[in-house]
Structure 1
Amino acid sequence: MKKRLLMLAIVPLLCIGIFIYIWQTSTSPVITYFEEDKVMNYHKTSTYLKLLSEESRDSYEIGWKSHSVSERELYLRQDVSLLFHNGRLRGVKSKWKENASTIKLKEKVTGEDSNYYQAITYHHGEVHYPDDRITSIQQMSYDQLYVIDSPNTALRSFKKAESDFEYEWKRLLRHTTEQQLAYSWNQLMEHFQVDKSSYRAVPLTALKRFNQEALPSFTPVQTNQIIGQLWEGLYKNYIIPLVTSKSKSETLTSYTPVILFDKQKTHLMVLYEINGEKKRLIQKYPAF
């Protein structure tokens, strides 16, 4: 009898737990592009990398931050930031808030040896109006940091080279990064049989330029929509799987995705891999 009563008590609790899990999963926010808001904007958006300290003779600590403030509280605010070193993924941070204007992301990561760090953040907000009309605002921010950790010199860092010593290290680290990414991207293009001459290739870490720069033959408003829908696809197909993979394994291998803009201006393609699995995302342009 006691066992039966215990089961009768446990089953409803299990059902409630399953319901809560499903509800939370199904209502997790996603980045959704809506028509660009003509009035609302950001007061501030930033991404910041800094060498904090030397942890030991073999390692050091990097500070990785992003910060965004909209002009007023919005129905939904969401930021996602990605950190790469020498072209390889180092970390992903994502945060969302309801009825908020400010989002801050802050993380410390440990590094070893000399590295070229790059971080890009996508800042997104949904603006809801009383007539059920929904618009959105978006902005990208970026930072980079060169860290020199050599047996022959003291640990140091810089963002822009200002001396012959720094220019030489910048050249070396960028060359190493570009070689790694060229190899990775060529493998992806060969795998998916992509004709390189038909596309304009842009690394994910270079997307910030489209805050001000329009895509060829597109207006700034059209560019804003293409980039917003690109991040919507990236979040769903690249960022969420990254977080899922990271929770299952301590090791995660991914390199900076390459965005291929079709020269015929009909679509874009994103090529990337997660733990050796090659992926392709194709997005057609809207009918402007």
Structure 2
Amino acid sequence: MKRLLSLFILLFVFVVIIQTFERPARETIMFFPIDPTVRFTQAQTKLSLHPKKKETRYIIDWIVTSSLDRTAYLRQDISLLFANGRLIAIQSKWKENGKKLIQQKQLEQKGSRLFQAISYHQGELHNGNDIRSSQKMSGDALYVIDSSFAPLQSFRKPATNEQKKWASTLNKQTQAIVNKAANQMATILSKDDYYHLYLTELVQYNEQPFMDLTTNETETMIGNLWEGLYKNYFLGIKKQNGSMESPIGSTVPLILIKKDYSQLFVVTETADGELIILKQLLDFKQ
């Protein structure tokens, strides 16, 4: 029997330290029940490579666009860009009484890299005292080959044997970085008890529910997850010694969802190598 979601308790803990977080005065992401009558007419994240180098570096163009089918009380988009498994940049924009948001950033980079971006688009809608949400995710991935033995090039899917070799190499480098945190978690939790995926893979659940969950339950879990990620990862990571650290340089967050949907963990390694574990408690009642 499908479980009905009656309560979704969102708490984040750093290892064993339970903390509460207050909503910022204006710019924020806060999940409210989904309004099924509202939809995004556009939600896109796009990465592209400028064809010419700037001295020894090349330029990545990173564009995030979204449009709701009506004016929302608050529109907000956030986006994260990873290279070879580590966060290199973030973007965020919000607008009161808005429908459409556009963000663009250019980044100078060097060396062959796998770029992965994921964005969360949200609208907060008010009808008197009734507050609802609309949400969607988008993402993109781009391989860039910057080698003295080959011309500067980029591709999303490898087409030639050379590109397949480069993609395999960059995939292995990325996996080696992100798997370090996963391997450490394997010594703490039983891997067989959890569904696991990386944040950049979450986009696929725009169109399909998690196993054993309804579409509405899946949307609720994702919305609350992004609310927590925004407050406790995107805006800064609180380390075990109490200090705050920028998420830049941290690994792609690993999401571990317990198969009975009682809890999930978000795991990342900071730029200086500290393992951070965020825990989200879920309560599904019959």
Select the structure that is richer in helix.
Answer: 1
Distance of 2:98 and 2:259 partners within structure 1: 39
The corresponding residue for 1:234 is 229
Q: What amino acid maps onto 1:156 in structure 2? A: Q
The corresponding residue for 2:250 is 254
- By how many angstroms is 1:180 displaced? 1.5
Q: Pick one of 120, 133, 138 that aligns with 2:130.
A: 133
- By how many angstroms is 1:189 displaced? 4.7
**Are 2:96 and 1:101 equivalent residues in the alignment?**
no
The total of aligned residue pairs comes to 257
Rate the CA distance shift 1:86–1:75 in 2: closer, same or farther, 3 A.
same
Distance of 2:165 and 2:205 partners within structure 1: 29
Secondary structure class of the residue paired with 1:148: strand
- By how many angstroms is 1:242 displaced? 5.7
The corresponding residue for 1:28 is 26
Gaps of 5+ in 2: 1-22, 239-243
What's the % identity of the aligned pairs?
35
Select the structure that is richer in strand.
Answer: 2
- By how many angstroms is 1:183 displaced? 1.8
Distance of 2:245 and 2:116 partners within structure 1: 21
Distance of 1:222 and 1:252 partners within structure 2: 31
**Are 2:193 and 1:198 equivalent residues in the alignment?**
yes
**Are 2:38 and 1:40 equivalent residues in the alignment?**
yes
Q: What amino acid maps onto 1:206 in structure 2? A: E
The corresponding residue for 2:219 is 224
Secondary structure class of the residue paired with 2:53: strand
Please provide the CA RMSD for this pair. Answer: 1.9
Give runs of ≥4 in structure 1 deviating > 4 Å: none
Q: Pick one of 173, 176, 189 that aligns with 1:176.
A: 173
Distance of 2:93 and 2:169 partners within structure 1: 35
Q: Pick one of 133, 147, 150 that aligns with 1:153.
A: 150
Q: What amino acid maps onto 2:204 in structure 1? A: R
Q: What amino acid maps onto 2:133 in structure 1? A: S
The two structures have a TM-score, normalised by structure 2, of: 0.85
Distance of 2:251 and 2:86 partners within structure 1: 4
Higher relative contact order (CA 8 A, sep 6+): 2
The corresponding residue for 1:72 is 70
Gaps of 5+ in 1: 1-24
After superposition, the C-alpha distances for 1:139-180 in whole angstroms (9 at most, x for unaligned) are 000101000111111101011112222122111111111121
Q: Is the 8 A contact 2:124 2:131 kept in 1?
A: yes
The two structures have a TM-score, normalised by structure 1, of: 0.84
The corresponding residue for 1:90 is 88
Q: Is the 8 A contact 2:117 2:139 kept in 1?
A: yes
Secondary structure class of the residue paired with 1:149: strand
Q: Pick one of 205, 211, 215 that aligns with 2:210.
A: 215
After superposition, the C-alpha distances for 1:90-139 in whole angstroms (9 at most, x for unaligned) are 10111111000011111001111100000000001111113x10110000
After superposition, the C-alpha distances for 1:239-278 in whole angstroms (9 at most, x for unaligned) are 11169744xxxx9420101000111221111111333332
Larger radius of gyration: 1
